[in-house]
Amino acid sequence: MKMKTKALLFILVVVAIGIFCMMISSRPWYAQPQKIFEKNREALEGVVEEYLADGIIQYPEIDGITQVNEWSDENPILEFMTDGFGIASASTYKGFYYSVNDVPVAFQGGNEQLTYTDDGWYEWAGVGDNGGRTKQIDGNWYVFEAHF
């Protein structure tokens, strides 16, 4: 009887781990950057206010934000990188940005044309297999992913 109980317990643990792994892998890529934004919105809006008033970027000490960049062009943005990995031509970057003019832009404010999709995303394509997508989170805030 003890052997059957141990075997059943083992099977239940394996099934639970499998379900947990499936749940994690089924989360959309943008859940993590959006969660960081939502959790730290007040501090991030303070960074944007100072940037708009003085042109100064205050680098926030927020877990999950690896880099802050300003991209000034026709549509300036303040970009908050949350994830980036890969080597040169096989890289992926994720994060969110504040669009001063409240318009979606390609990665790092690039001039690539955006195409609106039925599911609310704006996609862009560059040379070769370079591309990405962006979507409005709230107000002037957008989430993005870019791959090269």
In tens digits, the chain (148 residues) has pLDDT values of 577 777 667 666 665 554 544 444 444 555 788 899 999 999 999 999 998 898 878 777 888 888 888 998 788 999 999 976 666 666 889 999 999 999 999 988 888 899 999 888 999 887 777 889 999 999 999 999 988 8
pLDDT at 58: 76
Distance, in Å, from the CA atom of 144 to the CA atom of 98, rounded to the nearest integer, reads 11
pLDDT at 14: 61
pLDDT at 11: 66
Q: Which two tokens stand for residue 14?
A: 């394996």
pLDDT at 123: 92
pLDDT at 89: 63
pLDDT at 143: 95
pLDDT at 94: 93
Whether the model pTM is above 0.85: no
Percent of the chain, pLDDT > 90?
A: 36
CB within 8 A of 144, min separation 6: which ones?
Answer: 33, 79, 93, 94, 95, 96, 97, 107, 132, 133, 134
Q: Are 131 and 146 in contact (CB under 8 A)?
A: yes
